[in-house]
Amino acid sequence: MDLLRLLLPLIAGIVLGYLLRSKAQLKLDKLTFVIIIALIFSLGFSIGSNNELLNSMPTVGLHGLIISLLAIFFSVFFVKIAKRMVKF
């Protein structure tokens, strides 16, 4: 049910965008920016009000840093291997 609540507006937006694509482009840049800022604020508010989540942030941050560094390292590593295998 939760997935359906997310997919229906997405599909409706895609269909509406498809139907109105030949019309004049709507200027939604500012509205989109304001909505994104409101979403980021509400996410920060919910994190800040949850003591358990707030206390686990250093651990979560460390794990996120480790995963990011490993992803970057292995991406560079495999690109170098691929460049050696495919000679330009």
**Residue-wise pLDDT tens digits, 39-83:** 999 999 998 899 998 899 899 899 999 999 999 999 999 999 999
pLDDT of the residue at 88: 64
Give the separation between CA 21 and CA 19, rounded to whole angstroms: 6
Between 34 and 2, residue with greater pLDDT: 34
pLDDT of the residue at 65: 96
User: Span 9-30, mean pLDDT?
Assistant: 83
Do residues 78 and 85 lie in contact, with contact meaning Cβ atoms separated by under 8 Å?
Answer: no
Contact residues for 57 (Cβ-Cβ < 8 A; gap 6+): 47
Do residues 48 and 54 lie in contact, with contact meaning Cβ atoms separated by under 8 Å?
Answer: yes
pLDDT of the residue at 21: 82
